[in-house]
Structure 1
Amino acid sequence: MWVPQAEQISDRWHLLDNLSAVIRSYLEGYKSDIRTVCENISANEHEKLKSTLLSQKIELPDTKYSALFKKVKELQKEGKLSQRVIAKELGMNRDAVGRYFKLDAYPRNFSEPIDEKKYSSFIRKLWKNGERSAKEIWRKIKEKGYSRDYPHFYRYVQHHVKTHVDIPPLKIKYPTMNQVNRCLFLHSNERTTEESIFIEALYDKIPHLEKLRKRYFEYRNIFLSKLPDKLPTWLVSAKELSIEGLIRLVGGIERDMEAVKNAAIYELTNGQVEGQVNKLKMIKRKGYGRAKLPFLEKQMMILNEL
């Protein structure tokens, strides 16, 4: 039936979904850049973790001389006694006290003997798997031909094995395009720290992405806040981005300007009509092509009765 006084109202959900589809399509063209961003972020995080692990101070058990070093540094900090008096009080050589005065940390110059180098990977593997008894490790490498005595091996463990840091391998997580889209449309206070770093890196890598996201929220606000007069200004700003898909979308909106503006004016929506059309399409695809028109009629009658 023809209703000349009726006004056409575009469906708000489809208007927003069409713009979302443009952004998704735009991101699809930058998959390699998204992968590069993920790789760079993962590499940076791995370097930070590596630096943190390597900078951790590992305290070794005090020896006779390291304990003397601490006492010398404490007395030096107090500044009341001379090197001669400190040496006499601690029973040390004055030259040794002088050397300790110049150092910030106790020197541990235990070099790794050639014997241990042969077994270092095996020793570290045992240590990594939870074996913390130096004597048990010594017994196991003795079975493999190690010839040094236990006291020597114990010193090796103190200086080399306990101070060894295992750096985890670099792992790169590549998000799906759906995850990228979801993260992009989250507000900054809704994102995790990792997600915020990822999106900021995407802004730097992908041209116009930040502006495109801003245009999306401006467009959505036109309908949520009922501001149809802002639509022409938005169309101009959208065209300025020179994105092919966005230009096509703007052209479609301009051709149907009144219906789109009405979507920002009225509460009415054609969502019900869209729902009925979807039901019809579903019924058609379920059997109309095979069962012909009589089957479609029966399906529609059942649907109307429901």
Structure 2
Amino acid sequence: MTLRQVVWLMLPDETTLGCQNRDLLTAVKARCEAVSMAHGLTQSFMHLMRKRQPEALTGWLEQASGSGLPDLVTFARGLERDKDALEASLRLSWSNGPTEGVVNKIKLLGRQAYGRASFALLRQRVLLAA
């Protein structure tokens, strides 16, 4: 089993894992305390993000910083720098997802027309796609 496969086993909620994958994850966690700790911290972070619990963020950041796992410590430091924005994203229901989708579509159309079409044709395609 590769490290990448272990990481992908750690991300979803354990209740959604199949029986074979759940047994595999349990075996890996039993052999390595660091994997077990990383799995617990990963699951608690995913839970606080899914349930939108900004009050739990400070406690999680302290746990991750004190875990001694270099990657999680670095991740926690990065989140700490943007803590205000992260807490706002958990508290507020606003999303810029639709705007990002439109921007992505416009960029895709521009890439498809690069070197082959004039600005007038690109403008027409963008207007028709909207």
**For the superposition of Structure 1 and Structure 2, which TM-score range results when normalised by the shorter chain?**
0.7 to 0.9
Matched, 1:211 2:37: yes
Equivalent position of 1:191 in the other structure:
18
Which residue type is aligned with residue 219 of structure 1?
A: F
Where relative contact order (Cα < 8 A, 6+ residues apart) is larger, the structure is: 1
C-alpha change, 1:256 and 1:292, in structure 2 (3 Å) is farther
Equivalent position of 1:134 in the other structure:
none
| 1:71-113 CA-partner distances (Å, limit 9, x unpaired) | xxxxxxxxxxxxxxxxxxxxxxxxxxxxxxxxxxxxxxxxxxx
Which residue type is aligned with residue 100 of structure 2?
A: E
Q: 1:291 aligns with which of 111, 116, 119?
A: 116
Runs of 5+ consecutive residues of structure 1 not aligned to the other structure: 1-29, 35-175
C-alpha change, 1:262 and 1:218, in structure 2 (3 Å) is same
- CA shift for structure 1 position 228: 1.0
C-alpha change, 1:220 and 1:189, in structure 2 (3 Å) is closer
Runs of 5+ consecutive residues of structure 2 not aligned to the other structure: none
C-alpha change, 1:200 and 1:271, in structure 2 (3 Å) is same
* C-alpha RMSD of matched pairs (Å): 2.9
Quick check: which one's helix share is greater? 2
C-alpha change, 1:253 and 1:296, in structure 2 (3 Å) is farther
| Percent of pairs with identical residues | 19
Matched, 1:274 2:100: yes
Q: Residues 224 and 264 of structure 1 are in contact (CA less than 8 Å); yes or no, is this contact kept in structure 2?
A: no
Q: How does 1:122-271 map to 2 (within 5 A)?
A: 177=5, 180-181=6-7, 183-184=9-10, 185-188=12-15, 190-192=17-19, 194-271=20-97
Larger Rg: 1
SS in 2 for 1:208: helix
